[in-house]
Structure 1
Amino acid sequence: MKQRFRNGGLAAWSIHHPVGITMLTLTVLVFGLFSFKQLGINLLPHIIAPNVLVRITDAGVPANIMEDRVTRQLEEQLAITEDATGVDSTTSEGRSAVDLSFPYGTDINNALRDASIRLDRAKRFLPDNDEPPIIYKRDPAQIPVMDLVVSSNIRNSIELRTWADYVFSKWFLNLPGVAAVEVGGGLEREIQIVPDQEKLATVGLSLQEFSRQIRTQNTDSPGGRMIGQNLEITTRSEGRFKSIDEIKQLPLQTEQTMNSAEGSDSTIRVSDVAMVLDKHKDERLRIRLNKVPGIKLSIQKQPQANTVAVVDEVKHRISNLRAQNVIPDDIQVEVVGDQSIFVRHSINNAMLAAGSGALLAMVVIYLFLGSMLRTLIIGTAIPIGIMVTFILMQALGLTLNIMTLGGLALGMGLLIDSTIVMLENITRHQAEGETTDEDAINAATEVNSPIVASTSTNLGALLPFLFIGGMTGMLFQELIITITSAMLASLVVALTLVPALGAKIKNSNDKTNTINKIINYLKVKYYNNIGLFIVNPIKTFLVFALLLGLAIVQINETKQIDLPRVDEGKINLSITGDPGMQLDEMDETVDRLENLLMQEKEVQSLYTTAGGFIFGRSVFENSNRSSIKIQLLPSDRRELDSHQWVAMIKKKIDALKLTGYVIYMRVAGVRGLHITRGSDDISIHIRGGDLDTLRRLGDMAVSLLEPVEGLRNLTHSYEEVKQELKVNIDRQRAAEFDISSADIGAALKIALNGEIISNYIEGDKDFDIRIRLPQKNSTTPNALQNLMIDYKDGNAVRLGDIATIRHSPVASRIVRSQQQRIVEISATYNNDVDRQKVLEEVLDRLHALELPSGYVLYDNDTNKTLQEGQKTGMVVLMLAIFLVFVVMAVQYESFLNPLIIMSSIPFAAIGIAIGLLFDADMSISMPVWLGFIMLTGIVVNNAIVLVEQIEIERSKLDQSADNPLAEAIKKAASLRLRPILMTTLTTVFGMMPLAIGIGEGSEMLQPLAFVIVWGLSFSLLVSLILVPSLYALVHSYE
C-alpha cells in the first residue's frame, strides 16, 4: 500500500480504498451539518470600528459653557489614552459627545478600559451633574436589532411611559442574546416641589436650606445589629417618603419654630410654603408611529448573538405576554424596526444564489457529459466543500451572513473546476480503452500537477486580501476565508473521491451525447483554424492589445464609489426649524409632512420623533429639530428604488413651501456599514479658534460649493445660530449681599430647569423629586429679572437689582477635532455621480478660499476612502499577480511558461469593459477591486491546463516532424477544448445568479460576481487564441 501511495499519490490510495474514502466523506458531511446548526445568523461580519465614545448630558447648559467645563476637560484626559490617534467632539446645548479614534486592529476592549480610567480622572475636573457620563465602544452589535413602539388609546403618556419603563422592558432583559433595552419618549413621572420664595423669606428659609431639609429627611439609615439572648437582628431608621401627602406634611426647621414658646403650634410644613405636584418631566420629545403617539423601546443584542434568534425570542415573548395579559388589551405594541427582516431576505437570497448557481453548474456539466452518474461525481465537490467551510466557520466563530454565504455562492462554479479536469481526463482515457484501476491512476496523475497549480494560483490571488486592514478588510475577510476553505476542500475531493468513483465507471456513452457531438465538431474546426493565429502571433497579440487599451479607457471613465449602497427601503428625513422654535410649532410642520407621506402607497410605516431624535442609547433633544424614519415596502412590491422615491417625494415636499425650515432626505445605509464618521459622504474641515470667523468661512465654503453638480444636503456646522440670554453680574452690587456668581447660576438652574434633590420610591419604581420655581418666574426676560436670589438669614434680592439681562447670538453646537475648534463642511452625493470626480472638484474649489492667518483647510480622513480604496485595490492586485507568478514558477521550476500563462490576466479587463457597456449603472467600488483580484487567480486556470497539455504533446511528438511545435499546440488545444469550456461555463453560470443581483442584500456582492462573469467569459477567447499564439511566439526561438 505504501508503495502504491508513493507511486500514485492520493488518487492511488483512494482508488484502492473506496470504502475508506467514502466513510471519510460521510464523516465530513455529518460534522458539517452539525456545525451548520450551530452557526449564528447576522447580516454582516462582526465589525468593530476602532472608536470609543463618551457622552455627558446636563440639560439647559449652553454649548459654549459645555465646551469650556466639560468637553475640553474630557479631551485633555482622553487624548492621552494609549494608542489613540484622534479625538473629535461635538458640543451642543446640554450635551457633550467625544469620539476617541484608534488604528484598525486595536483591541477595542483594552482601549475601552484604558479610556474608562482616563474618564475617571477627568471626573475630578467636571462639574456636579445629575446624569453620570456614558462611555462605550462603537460596535454595530450595539445598534438596536429591534425597535418597538408602545401606544394606548386609554392611558395617558405618563402611565404608558411608567408601564414601559418598569413592567414591559424588564421582561426582555433575561432573554438569550439581549444586552439592553432602552426606553425613550413619552412623559416621565416626577414629583415636583414648587416653593413660593416670598413665603420662604417670611419663615426665614433660603431655597438652598429648604432643599437640604427635604433631601436629608428622605432617607433610610442603617442602625447596625442588635444582639441579645438567642436573638440577632438588624435595625434601621425609616425615613423614606411613602406618599405624596407625607412630603406635603413634612415639618420644616425654621427660625419661627425654634423661637416659638413651648406647647404652641407653630409648625411650618412643606405645604405651607410650596406646592407638591405629581407631574412629569418637561416634554422635550414626541414619538409617534404612523401618527399615533407612543413610547419607543430599542432592543440591543449581545455582540456574538444571533440577530434572527434574538428577534424571534422577543416576538415570542411579546406573544406570551399578550396571552398572559401582562400586556393589557388597551396597549398596542408595534414593531417599527426589525433588523432580522432584511437579514432573512439577504441570507435567503444569498442561499438561493448559491443553490441556483450550483444547479446551473450541474446542468452545464450534464449537458457536456450526458451522464447523470458522472455529473453527480463531479457535483460531490459542492456539498463537501460547503460542509468543510461550515466546520471551519464554526471553529473560527464566524456566522452565516451575506459575506460568508456570498463567498459560497461565488465559489459554486470554482468548486467543481478541479473535479471537472480530473474526471474528464479519466473519462477520456477510458474512452480510449484504458479501463483498469492502474489506468485511472495514470490518468489522475497526469492532471495532478495542473489541478494543484490551478488551485494554488486561486489561493495565491486571495491570500493578500487577508492582510488588508480597515473596514474593507473586516468586511471581506470572511468572504475570502469561506472561498479559500471551500476550494481547498474541492481540491482534496478532486484528488481523492473523484478518482475513486471515476475508476468504477468502466463504460462511457459520451460520444452519443448531442453536446459532445457539437464539441467534437468544434474541436475539429478549432484544430483546423487555430493555426491561423499560431502562425501570426504578433498580429494576434496586437489585436488583443488594442482591445485592452480601449477597455482601460472605458474602465477609467466609469464612476467610482467606496462601497455599493444597499437598499433596505429605509429613508431618513430630518427637519430643522429656525433657532428658538418651540416644540408645538415644530410639531405642526411635522404633522403636515406625516400627512403627505401617509398618502404614498410605497410607505409601509412612519416613525416620528418631534423635538430631536433617539438612536439606541443616545437621546438628542432640540425643539427645532425633528426626524421621520420612513420604511418603504420591500423592493419587489414597489416600482421605484429608494433613491428614485426620495427624488420623487422631495418635489412634493418642496411644493408645500415650508418657509423657515431646512429638510434633508437620504437613503439610510446598512447599520454598522457606514465608513465615514457621520451620516454624510463628504466632510471637509477648517481649523481655527474664533467661532464667528469659522462661521463666516463656512458660509463662504458653502457658497463656493453650491454650483457643484452631484452634491445635495450641503451645509456647515455653524449655519444655525441661537439666541442666548446672558446675565451680566454687577459684582459690586452682588458683593454687598455676599452673593457669588455660583449662587446666581444655581438659582437660575432651579428657576428654569429645576434641580433633582432626591427620589421617591413607590414599590419597585423610582421617580425623581425635583425642586423648581413657578414657571411664571421664568417665561420672559422681564419675569426672570424678578427672580429672588437668596442671601444670608433667609433674605433675598431681585436678580434685576444685581445683574442685567441681554440677548446674544451663540452657536447651537461647537465642533472640535484634535482639541481645536473646526467648522465642518459636509454634503452627500447624488446617487448617479462619479464620486471621485465630484470630490476632486470640491477640493479644488475649497482650496481657492482665502483663509486668515492661523486657519487651516484640510480634507478629513473620511474623504480619503475613495483614494485609499483605489490604492489598496491596486497594491493588492499587484501582490496577487506576483504571488500567482511565484506559485507557477515554483510549480514548473521555470520562468518562461508562467509568464505566458500570466499574459492572460490583463486581457480579462476587455470582458469587464464589455460588461460595463451593457450595465451603465455599475460603478468601480471595493467589491469590483476584489473581483479583479479573484480574477487573477481564476483566468490562469485554463491557461495552466492548456500549457501543461502542450508540454505533454511536445514530449510525445517526433521533433524531426514538420513544424512539431505548431502540431503539438494544435493537438493540445483541441484536446483541452472541452474541459476549458466546461470549467469556464460552470464558473460563469455558477456565479450568474449573484451577478444578476436579484433580491435584497445582493448589492454588496453583485459587482464582484459581475467582474468575474464578464472577465472570465472573455478570458475564454484569451485562453483559446492568445495563449497558444504567445506560446508559439516565445518557443519558436528555441
Structure 2
Amino acid sequence: VIFGLFGYRQLPVAALPRVDFPTIAVTATLPGASPDTMAASVTAPLERQFATIPAITTMTSQSGRGTSSIVLQFDLDRNIDGAALDVQAAITASLRKLPANLPAPPTFRKVNPADIAVMFIAMRSSELPLYVTNDYAEQNFAQQISQIPGVAQVLIFGQQKFAVRVQVDPEKAAARNITIDEVSKQVAAANSNAPVGIQLGKRQNVTIQATGQLEKADAYRPLVVAWRNGAPVRLDEIANVRNSVDNDQVAAWFRDERAIILAVYRQSDANTVEVVDQVKANLPRYQSQLPASVDVSVINDRSKSIRDSVHDVKETLAIAIVLVILVIFLFLKTLSATLIPALALPVSLIGTFAFMYMFGYSIDNISLLAITLAVGFVVDDAIVMLENIVRHIEEGMKPFEAALKGAREIGFTIISITLSLVAVFIPVLFMGGVVGRVFREFAVTISVAILVSGFVSLTLTPMLCARILSPVDHNKKPGLFSRAVDGVIDGMLALYRVTLDVVLRWKFTTLIVTFLSFAASAYMYVTIPKGFFPVEDTGFIVGSTEAAPDVSIETMSALQLRMIRTVLEDPAVNYLASAVGFGGIVNQGRIFVALKDKAERGDQMKIIQRLRKAGSAIPGMTVSFVPVQNFNLNAGRISRSQYQYTLQSSDLDELYASADRMMGRMATLPGLRDVTTDLQIRNPVSFVDIDREKAAAYGITTDQIRLALYNAFGAFQASTIYTQASDYQVIVEAGRDFQSDPNQLARLYIRPQNAAAGMAQATGAAGPTQAALIPLDQVATVRRSVGPLTINRQAQQPAVTLSFNLASDVSIGQAVESIQKAEREIGMPAAVTTSFSGTAQQFQDSLKGQGALLLAAVLTIYIVLGVLYESYIHPITILSGLPSAGLGALIFLRWFGMDLSVVAIIGILLLIGIVKKNAIMMIDFALVRRREGVDAETAIREAALIRFRPIIMTTLAAALGAVPIAIGAGAGAELRQPLGISIVGGLAVSQVLTLYITPVVYYYMDFIDQWLSRGNAAAPAEAPAPAPVQPAE
C-alpha cells in the first residue's frame, strides 16, 4: 500500500497510453517554384534517399508552390531519436542532388503534421502593425516555447514577418531602359552589412563601419538604380516601395480579428498534459516582455479535456466501489463481514499503482478503466472466500476454525479463478499494432490487480475473518433488514431450485438451447456493424474550408471571414482561431473551434451538422468539420475529413481518371459525408513556350528568360536586412497590377546579353548607349492551361487521397464495405492500386485480428484450466457459458445503437473471465461430490444450489462495477461506454442462462469423461482431491 501510494503520486496524467507512431516531418522551400519543379527537383531526390532508412512504414509527400513536405512514419518499436539521426544523415547525403539555389537545407521535426496542436495561442494588438506583433510572437514566444522539453515545434499561422517589398512597374522601367533583374542587382548592391575592416594605429585600433544597410522602405525609395540622359533614375520612380511582409499570401484570425496564431505541437513520445503545464507555467514570464498593447489569449488547451476525462473516470471508479460494497452488505447483512472485502479492495487497487509506476504507465482513460473494472474482480475472490467461511460459521463453527477450513476448501478454487482470469489477457499482450499497444497497458494493469487480489484473498481475507467475524447466535432474532434480505435471497433460491429441477428433467432440450445460443452469437458477430475506436467528445472541432484553385488571397480571406462569423453565431461555440494559405496553398483554410462546456451545449455531432449546414450556404466555398480525437492515426496527412482512401499509380492519366470516378461514386454513398479529394489539377497555369531560334538571334539565353520571370513573379529575395533580433527580406517583384493581368506576362522586357551596355559612371555623365530591350512576346509565346496546385505521393508513387466522414448511424466497417463495393462497380484499372490509410487502415488491421484474439483467449483459458483440473473435458464445461455471454453483449450493443468496436471486444474478453468464474465455483464443488460417490446429476444440483449465493454476489459485483461505465455521460464517456454496455449485457443474459446451461453441460461432459475413463485402462491415477466440502442441507 505504501509503495502504491508513492507510485500513484508519481504517475503522469494522459488521455491514452503512449501509442503515437514515431513520426518525422521534413520540409524544404524554394520560393517561386511550381509544384512540378518542387516534386521533381526537391521532393523526389529526398524520397529516394529516405527510402534507404529502415523501419519506415509510411512515406507521404506533398509538393506545392515553393514548398515540399515529406512525412516519415516509423514502426512503433523504432526509437524516435535514432530515426532522427538517420533522417539527418539522409538529408546531408541528398544535398548535392538538390537545386543549388535552395535558400536553406531541408529541415526536419519530430512531429506528426496531421496531429492537432496541444495548445493554440493568439496574439494581437489594436495599436501595433501585425509584423511588429509577429516579431514578439517569434522572438518572445515561439523560440522560447520550442526549447521546452517535449515541444516538437511552434508553428505560426498567419505569419506576418516584416519585409521591404519593391514592386516594379515593368512599363515604367522599360521606358527608362531598365529591366527588373537590373533593379534587383542595384537593390542588392545598395544594401550591405558586410565587414569593412579595422584601422590599426600605434596607440589604438578603430573599427570602421560604413552605413551600408537600409532597414525601412523610406531608405530604399531614393535609391539611384540607373543614370539616363545624365539624370538619375530613382527607385520610387519606377516602383512602389513599401514596408510589408515576406509572405502576403497567408492570414489568420482570432474570432474575427486579424491575429498571429501560435500552434504548439508536442513530440510524438511526449505527454500532452506535461507539455501544456510547462508552457502555461512560462506564459506569464513571456507576457511580461511584451508591450501592454499586445493581447495574448490561449485559444485551446487540450490538457483540459484530458483532465476532465480522467476526473470523470475517477468518479466512475468511486461510484463502482460504493455500489460493490453495497452489494456485499446486502448479502452479508453485517458491517463486520462487509468490512473484510471492503479492506481487500483498496489494498489490491492501491498495490496495483506500484506496478503501474514500475512499468512506466500513466493515469489515463485505459488504465483507470482497467482499475474500475477490476473492482468487481478484486472483491470476487474475497467474496468467494468470505462466503465460504461465513457459511461454516452459520453452521456453528468458531470463526478461527471456520477460516482455516474455509480457506483450505476454497483455496484451489480461488487459484483456478485467478489464473484462468489472467489467462484471458495473455493474448492481448501479444497483439501487434497500435491496438495492441493501447490495450497492453489495460491487460497488464487489470492482470496485476487480479493477481494482487488473489494473494490478498488467500492471506489477508482469512486472517480478517478469524479476527473480525463473530460466532452466530442462533437464539438471537434477526432484525427486519436481515429478514427482508434473507427472504429475498431464499425466494430467489427457491425459484432457482424449482426451475433447475425442470431443466434437469429436460436436459437434451437445454443442450439444444446451448447450441442455439452459440449459433445466435456467431450470427450476431457476423452481422453487427464493426467499428474501431468510438468518437470522443473532446469539446474541440476543426473545420476545413476550400475555394476554387485560382482564388486570390483577398477573395479567400473574405470567404474565410464570412465562414468565421457564421461559426461564431452558433451558441455552442466559445471561441475560435482560423488561418488560410498555410503550406503555400491559398485556396484552403482551417478553423479551430473550441466549444463551450458540455453542460452548456448539446452533442458535438449535432453541432457539427449545424455548422456544416450553415457553411454550405456560403457560395464559392466548401466546408467540413471533424471532432478532434485524442487518438490520431493519420500518417502525416492534413486531411479535411476523419478517414482516408488512397489510390496510387505511376500512370497519371489512369490515376486521375480513376480518382475522379471514385470521388463521384463515393459522393453518392448514403453513409458517407464530406467526401473530398486532395487532387487539385485544375489550377490555372501560364506556360511560356520559348522560341529558341528567335531568342538566340536576339542574343537572349533561356536562363535570362527564366531569371526575368523569377525576378518578376517569384517573390525574389534580392537582399537581406540583418538586425540583432532577426533578419528580414528585401523582395523585388512586378507590381500587383501587372501580376493580376495574365495578358501582361508577354510585356516583360529582357536585355540581350551580348549587347548589354555598361552603367553610367558616378560622375553624372551619360553612359554609353543601352541596348534596346526585347519584350518577352518577341522570343516566346504564352498560353493558358491548367496544372496541379499540389502534387501528392505515397511510397514514391503519385497518389490521390479521398477523405470522408461518416453519417451518425454508420460504422467504419459498413463504410469500408460500401467503398470496396463501389470500387468493384466502377472497374478499377489494374494499374491503379487502392488502400485505406490512417484510421481506416488501422481499423482493417484490427478487424483481421478480432476473431483470432477471441479464439486465442478461449484456447489459453482452456489450456490453463486443463492443467489445473488435469482434464480435457471439464474445461469445456466451464467454458460452455461463453456463447450466452457473447450473445448478451452483442444484443445490448445493437440495442443501444453501438458498433462492435475494439473497446467492446475487450469487454467481451472480460466476460470470458467473469462467466467462467461462475462455472468454476459450480464444477469445483461437483467434482468433490463425485469423488465422494455421488452421481453426476445430484452432484451438480447440489453445487448449483450451494454456490448460488456467491455466484449471484460476484456477478452483481462485476455488473455494478461496470454500470457506472455503461451509463457514464461525462468527458470521454463515449470511449468507455461500449465496454460497460457489453459487460452489463453479457452478464444479464449469461447469468440467467449459465445457471441452467452449466449443470446440463456438466452432466453430459461427466458422462463422456466416465466413458473415456472406462475405455482407457492405462489412464493415470487421479490426483488427490481437495478436502471435501460439506453440502448444505
Q: TM range, normalised to the smaller chain?
A: 0.7 to 0.9
Distance 1:384 1:208 in 2: 77
Which residue, 65, 80, 90 being the options, matches 2:62? Answer: 90
How far apart are residue 124 of structure 1 and its match? 1.7
Rate the CA distance shift 1:48–1:839 in 2: closer, same or farther, 3 A.
Answer: closer
Q: Are the aligned partners of 2:95 and 2:105 in contact in 1 as well (CA < 8 Å)?
A: no
How far apart are residue 880 of structure 1 and its match? 0.8
Residues 1:495 and 2:458 are matched in the alignment: yes
Q: Are the aligned partners of 2:654 and 2:831 in contact in 1 as well (CA < 8 Å)?
A: no
How far apart are residue 525 of structure 1 and its match? 4.4
Distance 2:358 2:114 in 1: 21
Q: Are the aligned partners of 1:361 and 1:990 in contact in 2 as well (CA < 8 Å)?
A: yes
What is the match of residue 132 of structure 2?
159
Deviations 1:696-726 (A, max 9, x none): 3333223333432112222444355111111
Which residue, 50, 55, 59 being the options, matches 2:27? Answer: 55
Which residue, 149, 165, 168 being the options, matches 2:122? Answer: 149
Of residues 931-940 and 162-171 in structure 1, the stretch that sits farther from structure 2 once superposed is 162-171
Residues 1:577 and 2:538 are matched in the alignment: no
Distance 2:737 2:930 in 1: 103
How far apart are residue 981 of structure 1 and its match? 1.0
Distance 2:534 2:129 in 1: 45
What is the match of residue 558 of structure 1?
528
Which residue, 47, 53, 56 being the options, matches 1:81? Answer: 53
Distance 2:383 2:604 in 1: 43
Deviations 1:800-845 (A, max 9, x none): 3322222111122223233232343443321212443343232223
Q: Are the aligned partners of 2:324 and 2:961 in contact in 1 as well (CA < 8 Å)?
A: yes
How far apart are residue 96 of structure 1 and its match? 2.2
Residues 1:994 and 2:965 are matched in the alignment: yes
Q: Are the aligned partners of 1:715 and 1:826 in contact in 2 as well (CA < 8 Å)?
A: yes
Distance 1:303 1:558 in 2: 34
Distance 1:293 1:371 in 2: 68
Distance 1:302 1:857 in 2: 32
> When the two structures are superposed, what TM-score results if normalisation uses the length of structure 1?
0.87
Distance 2:944 2:113 in 1: 52
1:611-622 pair list within 5 angstroms: 611-612=580-581, 619-622=582-585
Distance 1:416 1:134 in 2: 56
Residues 1:467 and 2:430 are matched in the alignment: yes
Which residue, 109, 112, 119 being the options, matches 2:91? Answer: 119
Distance 1:816 1:65 in 2: 14
Residues 1:218 and 2:193 are matched in the alignment: yes
Counterpart residue type for residue 36 of structure 2: N
Of residues 243-252 and 1024-1033 in structure 1, the stretch that sits farther from structure 2 once superposed is 243-252
What is the match of residue 672 of structure 1?
632
What is the match of residue 605 of structure 2?
643
Partner of 2:814: helix, strand, or coil? helix
Partner of 1:906: helix, strand, or coil? helix
Partner of 1:949: helix, strand, or coil? helix
Q: Are the aligned partners of 1:524 and 1:974 in contact in 2 as well (CA < 8 Å)?
A: no
Which residue, 569, 591, 596 being the options, matches 2:566? Answer: 596
Q: Are the aligned partners of 1:761 and 1:767 in contact in 2 as well (CA < 8 Å)?
A: yes
Deviations 1:427-482 (A, max 9, x none): 22223333264542332122111111111111111111111121211222222221
Q: Are the aligned partners of 2:225 and 2:233 in contact in 1 as well (CA < 8 Å)?
A: yes
How far apart are residue 689 of structure 1 and its match? 4.2
How far apart are residue 622 of structure 1 and its match? 2.7
Distance 2:384 2:847 in 1: 36
Which residue, 754, 759, 762 being the options, matches 2:720? Answer: 759
Rate the CA distance shift 1:38–1:937 in 2: closer, same or farther, 3 A.
Answer: same
Rate the CA distance shift 1:973–1:171 in 2: closer, same or farther, 3 A.
Answer: same
Distance 1:830 1:662 in 2: 18
Residues 1:945 and 2:921 are matched in the alignment: yes
Counterpart residue type for residue 632 of structure 2: G
What is the match of residue 1021 of structure 2?
none
1:1008-1023 pair list within 5 angstroms: 1008-1023=979-994
Residues 1:35 and 2:7 are matched in the alignment: yes
Residues 1:890 and 2:867 are matched in the alignment: yes
Q: Are the aligned partners of 1:781 and 1:805 in contact in 2 as well (CA < 8 Å)?
A: no
What is the match of residue 358 of structure 2?
395
What is the match of residue 837 of structure 1?
814
Distance 1:143 1:715 in 2: 20
What is the match of residue 190 of structure 1?
163
What is the match of residue 324 of structure 2?
361
Q: Are the aligned partners of 1:531 and 1:966 in contact in 2 as well (CA < 8 Å)?
A: no
What is the match of residue 855 of structure 1?
831
Rate the CA distance shift 1:738–1:819 in 2: closer, same or farther, 3 A.
Answer: farther
Partner of 1:877: helix, strand, or coil? helix
Distance 2:920 2:547 in 1: 66
Which 5+ residue runs of structure 1 have no aligned equivalent?
A: 1-28, 261-265, 613-618
Deviations 1:56-95 (A, max 9, x none): 2334322222222222222222222223345332323223
Counterpart residue type for residue 568 of structure 1: T
Which residue, 260, 271, 289 being the options, matches 2:254? Answer: 289
What is the match of residue 905 of structure 2?
929
Of residues 746-755 and 274-283 in structure 1, the stretch that sits farther from structure 2 once superposed is 274-283
What is the match of residue 7 of structure 1?
none
What is the match of residue 767 of structure 2?
none
Of residues 471-480 and 984-993 in structure 1, the stretch that sits farther from structure 2 once superposed is 471-480
Deviations 1:186-228 (A, max 9, x none): 522113456785699679994564366357x32347889x999
Q: Are the aligned partners of 1:577 and 1:625 in contact in 2 as well (CA < 8 Å)?
A: yes
Distance 2:733 2:535 in 1: 50
Partner of 2:883: helix, strand, or coil? coil
Counterpart residue type for residue 925 of structure 2: Q
What is the match of residue 476 of structure 1?
439
Distance 1:624 1:207 in 2: 32
How far apart are residue 295 of structure 1 and its match? 0.9
Which 5+ residue runs of structure 2 have no aligned equivalent?
A: 759-770, 1011-1033
Partner of 2:786: helix, strand, or coil? strand
What is the match of residue 703 of structure 2?
742
Partner of 1:155: helix, strand, or coil? coil
Partner of 1:574: helix, strand, or coil? strand
1:775-790 pair list within 5 angstroms: 775-790=736-751
Deviations 1:871-923 (A, max 9, x none): 2111111111111011111111111211211112222123224423531x111
Counterpart residue type for residue 575 of structure 1: T
Q: Are the aligned partners of 1:471 and 1:675 in contact in 2 as well (CA < 8 Å)?
A: no
Deviations 1:720-747 (A, max 9, x none): 5111111111212333455433332232
Counterpart residue type for residue 515 of structure 1: V
Of residues 786-795 and 669-678 in structure 1, the stretch that sits farther from structure 2 once superposed is 669-678
Counterpart residue type for residue 625 of structure 2: M
> When the two structures are superposed, what TM-score results if normalisation uses the length of structure 2?
0.87
Q: Are the aligned partners of 2:635 and 2:837 in contact in 1 as well (CA < 8 Å)?
A: no
Partner of 1:503: helix, strand, or coil? helix
Distance 1:825 1:167 in 2: 40
Q: Are the aligned partners of 1:40 and 1:305 in contact in 2 as well (CA < 8 Å)?
A: no
Residues 1:876 and 2:853 are matched in the alignment: yes
Distance 1:375 1:674 in 2: 50
What is the match of residue 707 of structure 1?
668
1:323-722 pair list within 5 angstroms: 324=288, 326-435=289-398, 437=400, 439-508=402-471, 512=478, 513=482, 514-609=484-579, 611-612=580-581, 619-639=582-602, 641-654=603-616, 656=617, 658-670=618-630, 672-673=632-633, 679=639, 680=641, 683-689=644-650, 691-718=652-679, 721-722=682-683
What is the match of residue 798 of structure 2?
821
Measured on the aligned residues, the alpha-carbon RMSD in Å equals: 3.5
Rate the CA distance shift 1:662–1:462 in 2: closer, same or farther, 3 A.
Answer: same
Counterpart residue type for residue 938 of structure 1: I
Rate the CA distance shift 1:488–1:557 in 2: closer, same or farther, 3 A.
Answer: same
Of residues 831-840 and 403-412 in structure 1, the stretch that sits farther from structure 2 once superposed is 831-840
